Chain A
Amino acid sequence: MNVRTMQISRTVGFYVALVLFCLFAVFPALWMVITAFKQNSDLYDPMNNPFLFNLPPTLTHIESLFTQTNYPIFLWNSFIIGVIVVAITLVLAVPAAYSLARLMGHWGEHSSIAIFLVYLIPPTLLFIPLYEIVTVLGAANTVWSLILVYPTITVPFCTWLLLSFFRSVPREVEEAALTDGWSRVGVFFRVALPLALPGITTCIVFAFALSLSDYIYAAVFVSRTASRTVSAGVPTELIRGDIYYWQALMAATAIVGIPLAVVYGLLFNWLVKGFQVELPRSPRA
């Protein structure tokens, strides 16, 4: 085997592996999209090739999802909750991250992993006591119960992510502004914030996505249709008893999932960078 054939076989192997990984990642989503447009008699025939449209595609199921189910209510609730949670998260996490990155000295600089561990205390440990708290506050069955609780997921994560962005702002820029007679607060608003804008954008996306994807709190705190979110409403209310309207269900998941995936994918390199600033260089490199 000469060098050329080896190179070719290597390239082929690379692309085969890449395609396999991509297929594994998108196969469920692909299946969702195909299903959503299928007619009943096409879908529920085990002899049909499930990946092809044996009968012409139809929009009726997507139409009925929006006109005959509560899906629009779930979408609206998820949207409102997401927006308010993002606002609360930014108000809490941005100043906290800046403080840890710049103002709290040695302890603050090494706090990042401790913060990430807060993110790891799972909802499973907390949902029962939080259910009590929410009930006592009279917020059960309203969107406010979720708005109150979701920042427990988003604030630690976003603080941790922003920490690395604030750290990557060169210290000298801020110090020059301080020397020019600006106050620390002024430096924060007029120098650090604009420079950390990519980080803040990433945070907005994440806080929104995290609040959208919670299932356990949404399923436990809210049992009224009018206050359900997408994550809890689709599995609990669009499945009626044992009857699954698969086309509508798959449309309901794909409509939320695929746009999110595109946004995440576009942020891919920023995410890697976030972890890079965060995690110090490997010892051998």
Chain B
Amino acid sequence: MRNETVLGGGAAGGYEEPSQCSEHVAIADRDGVVGTIMLAPAVIYVIALVAVPFFLAIALSLSDATVGNPSAHQFVGFDNFTSVIYEAAFTFALRNSIIITAATLVLLTVLTILQVELLACDFPGKRTAQILLILPWAMPVALAAIGWLWLLDSEFSPIDWLLRAVGLLGPGTVLGPANNLYYLGREWLGIGAVVVINVWRTLPLSTIIVLAGRTAIPNEVYEQAELDGAGYFRTLFQITLPALAILLIVAILFTVLVIFGDMTVVALTTRGGPGYATEILPYWAYLKGIQGGALSQGAAIALFLFPVLLAASVLALRMAYRREG
């Protein structure tokens, strides 16, 4: 470069006034001014349609608004929260939200590590494998859920057919005597199905995040380990995993937050049933608030998600920053 760093020395970034000492520094040359102008529209938009609605949600949950009369903001204190807690569905929704999120987290962690180990290698056909493996993330959630609904159909599920073909399902077998398993019609099978669908659709994202860290580990580290005679599992547990630990936690937290706050899979597969057996908080908020018309109660239910989301976000943030610092 011919003329180096005229603008407030490289590493520190150019927040200081430009050090070009010419008398007429045009407005368009002041980084702070230009920066603010460029940033402002996005910030204003996010404040107007994320921050304001968020506080509106809190206000709604303390009011008695309904779909029929959304602007009647009569302050009712914590009535919505207390009345919601005493409903039978609440216990189910809270329990299932926690169980589904926790189970997804465990499975996702194991599978992410395995898949990252696979994709860290070079092999013929890697490009094709990447396309196949990223498919669950690319498919719109609602459409994927419809696909799973048919895959887990009570009568025509091909999984049931496979189980019958190998003699595990049907009259007089281990899983029999019925000819089908009714994945979405039983309490724990339903929850299991939702967990599997969640793992399926978030595995590509967590893999990509962790893979970014994995490919940053220099190859020499592994060559040295091999020279030292360390086996595969020793290398995995003593080099790869410690190096990826924090990144892995961040990636898993991010994906799990997405699952905890989303209703699509449950809404389109089990619909919370049978009864409230697979109900989760986000879907119940939708049923109450929109379908049932009790906006304020729906907002109150959704807010039960917030403490968990906040705790997980703070945790992720702190870990990420500790690494940066």
Interface stretch, picked from B81-89, B185-193, B257-265, is B257-265
Contact of A234 with B142 in the complex, beta carbons under 8 Å: yes
**Of the residues A126, A244, A261, contact of B135 by C-beta under 8 Å:** A261
A183 an interface residue at 8 Å Cβ cutoff? Answer: yes
B147 an interface residue at 8 Å Cβ cutoff? Answer: yes
Contact of A103 with B200 in the complex, beta carbons under 8 Å: no
A186 vs B1: C-alpha distance in the bound complex, in angstroms? 19
Contact of B139 with A260 in the complex, beta carbons under 8 Å: yes
Contact of A95 with B211 in the complex, beta carbons under 8 Å: no
Among residues of B, the one whose C-beta sits closest to the C-beta of A131 is B290
Contact of A253 with B38 in the complex, beta carbons under 8 Å: no
Question: Given that A32-B147, A279-B247 are known contacts, is A128 also in contact with B141, CB under 8 Å in the complex?
Answer: no
B54 an interface residue at 8 Å Cβ cutoff? Answer: yes
B46-66: which have CB < 8 Å to A? Answer: 46, 49-50, 52-54, 56-57, 60, 65
Question: Given that A184-B29, A265-B134 are known contacts, is A31 also in contact with B15, CB under 8 Å in the complex?
Answer: no
Contact of A285 with B317 in the complex, beta carbons under 8 Å: no
Contact of B212 with A272 in the complex, beta carbons under 8 Å: yes
Contact of A46 with B41 in the complex, beta carbons under 8 Å: no
A117: chain B residues at CB < 8 Å are 313, 316-317
Question: How far is the CB of B165 from the nearest CB of chain A, in Å?
Answer: 8
**Of the residues A126, A130, A235, A261, contact of B139 by C-beta under 8 Å:** A261
B230 an interface residue at 8 Å Cβ cutoff? Answer: no
A33 vs B204: C-alpha distance in the bound complex, in angstroms? 21
Question: How far is the CB of A184 from the nearest CB of chain B, in Å?
Answer: 5
B244 an interface residue at 8 Å Cβ cutoff? Answer: yes
How many of chain A's residues touch chain B, expressed as a range? 35 or more
Contact of B34 with A265 in the complex, beta carbons under 8 Å: no
A271 vs B158: C-alpha distance in the bound complex, in angstroms? 34
A121 vs B261: C-alpha distance in the bound complex, in angstroms? 8
A246-285: which have CB < 8 Å to B? Answer: 246, 249-250, 252-253, 256-258, 260-266, 268-269, 271-276, 278-285
Question: How far is the CB of B23 from the nearest CB of chain A, in Å?
Answer: 15
**Residue with the greatest number of chain A CB neighbours at <10 A, chosen from B46, B60, B246, B316:** B46
A28: chain B residues at CB < 8 Å are 136, 144, 147-148, 151, 200
Question: Given that A31-B150, A118-B46, A280-B324 are known contacts, is A104 also in contact with B35, CB under 8 Å in the complex?
Answer: yes
A232 vs B268: C-alpha distance in the bound complex, in angstroms? 10
Contact of B31 with A265 in the complex, beta carbons under 8 Å: no
A46 vs B290: C-alpha distance in the bound complex, in angstroms? 38
B277 an interface residue at 8 Å Cβ cutoff? Answer: no
Contact of B131 with A122 in the complex, beta carbons under 8 Å: no
Contact of B54 with A125 in the complex, beta carbons under 8 Å: yes
Contact of A159 with B42 in the complex, beta carbons under 8 Å: yes
B76: chain A residues at CB < 8 Å are none
Interface stretch, picked from A61-69, A146-154, A193-201, is A146-154
Contact of A253 with B143 in the complex, beta carbons under 8 Å: yes
Question: How far is the CB of A173 from the nearest CB of chain B, in Å?
Answer: 8
B173 an interface residue at 8 Å Cβ cutoff? Answer: no
Question: Given that A28-B147, A285-B218 are known contacts, is A261 also in contact with B134, CB under 8 Å in the complex?
Answer: yes
A151-168: which have CB < 8 Å to B? Answer: 151-152, 155-156, 159
Question: How far is the CB of A148 from the nearest CB of chain B, in Å?
Answer: 7
Contact of A126 with B57 in the complex, beta carbons under 8 Å: yes
Question: How far is the CB of A3 from the nearest CB of chain B, in Å?
Answer: 12
A114 an interface residue at 8 Å Cβ cutoff? Answer: yes
A222 an interface residue at 8 Å Cβ cutoff? Answer: no
Contact of A51 with B158 in the complex, beta carbons under 8 Å: yes
Contact of A125 with B267 in the complex, beta carbons under 8 Å: no
A22: chain B residues at CB < 8 Å are 129, 132-133
A80 an interface residue at 8 Å Cβ cutoff? Answer: no
A35 an interface residue at 8 Å Cβ cutoff? Answer: yes
**Of the residues A46, A124, A159, contact of B263 by C-beta under 8 Å:** A124
Contact of B302 with A276 in the complex, beta carbons under 8 Å: no
Contact of B317 with A113 in the complex, beta carbons under 8 Å: yes
Question: Given that A175-B5, A257-B138 are known contacts, is A152 also in contact with B216, CB under 8 Å in the complex?
Answer: no
Question: Given that A121-B54, A268-B130 are known contacts, is A279 also in contact with B213, CB under 8 Å in the complex?
Answer: yes
Residues of A at under 8 Å CB distance from B? 10, 14, 17-18, 21-22, 24-29, 31-32, 35, 43-44, 46, 49-51, 91-93, 95-96, 98-100, 102-110, 113-114, 116-118, 120-133, 135-136, 148-149, 151-152, 155-156, 159, 171-172, 175-176, 178-179, 183-186, 188, 209, 212-213, 215-216, 219-220, 230-232, 234-235, 244, 246, 249-250, 252-253, 256-258, 260-266, 268-269, 271-276, 278-285
Query: What are 14 pairs between A and B in contact, CB < 8 Å?
Result: A17-B114, A22-B133, A92-B41, A99-B39, A103-B35, A104-B32, A118-B50, A122-B257, A129-B57, A159-B42, A244-B150, A257-B143, A279-B209, A285-B216
Q: A103-B32, A260-B139 are in contact. List 17 more A-B contacts (CB 8 A).
A: A21-B133, A99-B35, A113-B316, A120-B257, A129-B60, A132-B56, A149-B49, A156-B46, A183-B28, A219-B267, A231-B140, A253-B143, A256-B139, A260-B140, A268-B130, A276-B216, A284-B243
